[in-house]
Structures are given as structure tokens and as C-alpha cells.
């Protein structure tokens, strides 16, 4: 189903996710899912904050920037669709198979997560790599949705595309090596940003470093990148969101006392 890898399909399919994340953050608490990153070790959608801060830098007000951030996703996907010169036609009937595909792609990561969590030395891994540890399942699900959209936007669509462009078009590196290096670098940065990140004009620390979670996220970043390269942004973001949602549920039901 090559047509479902088109940017216009990604936009149409993810539109509900985008709306749910915006509404969810307002209903659950914008403070919990945004500004609290400066004062806690909870996982929040830092990639969303980066886009929001970029808009504030461009003189958008804080409130306008919050609601304008999802429009950045919309604009990027519309521009990508335009330059791709592919059909703009979308069939809602494809959304069901796309959802099944996302769930199928999420299964290997879920299985790996549960396997890692079997060992006593890594019992905290599931909680650490789930959508969050806010103590609220709804908040974790909302965060998982946002992570699927905005982490895939920054670390896969933007970062991988930029690195490939730099290596291939400017330095003359082969297509194969450009893509491999882009995936490798993006996976390292994706994993690292959960532990240390630059926001609010300074570096901040997130989760305490754990080798097992760092390696897992590195592998997950490479996996999401492979899905992105093969099936496009929509399927990659959907896979990431569904993975985070399912793990958050599993964590709340089976692993949180």
C-alpha cells in the first residue's frame, strides 16, 4: 500500500492524534505535560517544547505558540506532499489497515520491552520507557500520543532528512551510507534526549542514565527510523504512539503497585 506512505495520508491519519493531544494536554493539565519538565524527572514531550520555543523565538506569544505547534506538523506535511508531486487523494477506508499495520509494527518492541522487564535487574525498565510515569494513565496516554507525533517529526522526518541531505548532497556520501549514518545518529540522539536535553536556553537532566534503557531506546529509534524509511511518517508516528499507549497501559495494569 504505497499510497498510504504519502505525506497527505500521514496528515489525514494523524489529524485525530494531533487533536487528541492538544485537547488532552488542556484537560489533563498543560502544566503537567509541558512546564513541569523543568522541575521533575518525568518524561514529557520535549520535542513538542522545542517547536513551541522556536515559535516563541519567532515572536509568537506563549499561548499562541502552544496551539500553533501542531500547525507546524500540518505545514511540513503539506509542503512535503506538494514537492512529492503525488496524488492528494485520500481514502478513509485505508485508515483501518493503517492502524492494524501500526499495531503489528509495535508488537516487536512490546515483546522486547516485556522480555527486558523479566529480569530483576531491569524491573524499572518498563516504567522508564513507557509514555511517562506521572501516576495518571490518561496523562501517560496523552503524552504517548504526543511523543508519537513530535518525536517522529523531529528525530525521523526532520533529522534523518537533514543528515541525508548533508551527507549525500553536500559531501557526496553514497545513498546507502548516508541513510545508515542518519539512522544511527538519529537513534543515538533520540535515546540521549531522554536523559539530557537543551531547553529554555540551558541544558537540563531528565531520567537518570541507565545503560539498559539507553540501549533499548537506541534500538527503538533505529526501528522507528526503519519504519519511517520503508512506510513513511504516518505509519512511523502511528507505530510509536500505539507502542507508547500500549506500554503505558501494561505498566499501569501489571507493573505499578
pLDDT of residue 252: 79
Predicted model pTM: 0.89
**To the nearest whole percent, how much of the chain has pLDDT over 70?**
85
pLDDT tens digits, one per residue of 175-194: 899 999 999 999 999 999 98
Phi-psi region of 130 (alpha: psi -120 to 50; beta: other; left: phi over 0): beta
Q: Is the pLDDT of residue 122 over 50?
A: no
pLDDT of residue 123: 44
Q: What is the mean pLDDT of the chain?
A: 85
CA distance 147 to 50: 12
Amino acid at each position: 500500500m504505497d499510497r498510504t506512505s504519502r505525506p497527505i495520508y500521514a496528515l489525514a491519519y494523524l489529524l485525530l492524534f494531533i487533536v487528541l493531544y492538544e485537547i488532552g494536554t488542556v484537560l489533563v493539565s498543560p502544566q503537567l505535560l509541558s512546564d513541569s519538565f523543568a522541575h521533575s524527572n518525568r518524561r514529557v514531550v520535549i520535542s513538542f517544547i522545542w517547536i513551541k520555543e522556536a515559535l516563541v523565538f519567532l515572536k509568537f506569544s506563549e499561548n499562541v505558540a502552544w496551539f500553533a505547534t501542531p500547525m507546524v506538523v500540518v505545514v511540513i506535511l503539506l509542503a512535503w506532499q506538494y514537492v512529492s508531486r503525488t496524488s492528494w487523494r485520500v481514502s478513509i477506508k485505508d485508515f483501518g489497515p493503517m492502524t492494524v499495520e501500526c499495531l503489528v509494527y509495535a508488537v516487536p518492541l512490546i515483546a522486547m520491552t516485556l522480555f527486558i522487564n523479566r529480569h530483576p535487574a531491569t524491573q524499572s525498565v518498563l516504567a522508564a520507557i513507557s509514555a511517562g510515569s506521572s501516576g495518571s494513565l490518561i496523562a501517560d496516554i496523552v503524552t504517548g500520543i504526543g511523543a508519537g507525533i513530535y518525536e517522529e517529526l523531529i528525530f525521523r522526518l526532520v533529522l534523518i532528512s537533514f543528515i541525508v541531505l548533508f551527507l549525500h548532497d553536500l559531501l557526496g556520501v553514497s545513498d546507502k551510507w548516508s541513510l545508515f549514518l542518519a539512522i544511527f545518529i538519529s537513534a543515538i540522539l533520540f535515546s540521549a534526549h531522554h536523559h539530557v536535553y537543551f531547553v529554555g536556553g540551558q541544558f537540563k537532566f531528565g531520567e537518570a542514565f541507565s545503560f539498559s534503557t539507553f540501549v533499548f531506546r537506541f534500538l527503538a529509534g533505529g526501528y522507528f527510523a526503519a519504519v519511517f524509511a520503508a512506510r513513511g511518517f504516518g505509519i512511523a508516528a502511528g507505530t510509536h504512539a500505539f507502542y507508547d499507549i500500549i506500554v503505558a497501559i501494561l505498566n499501569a495494569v501489571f507493573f505499578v503497585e
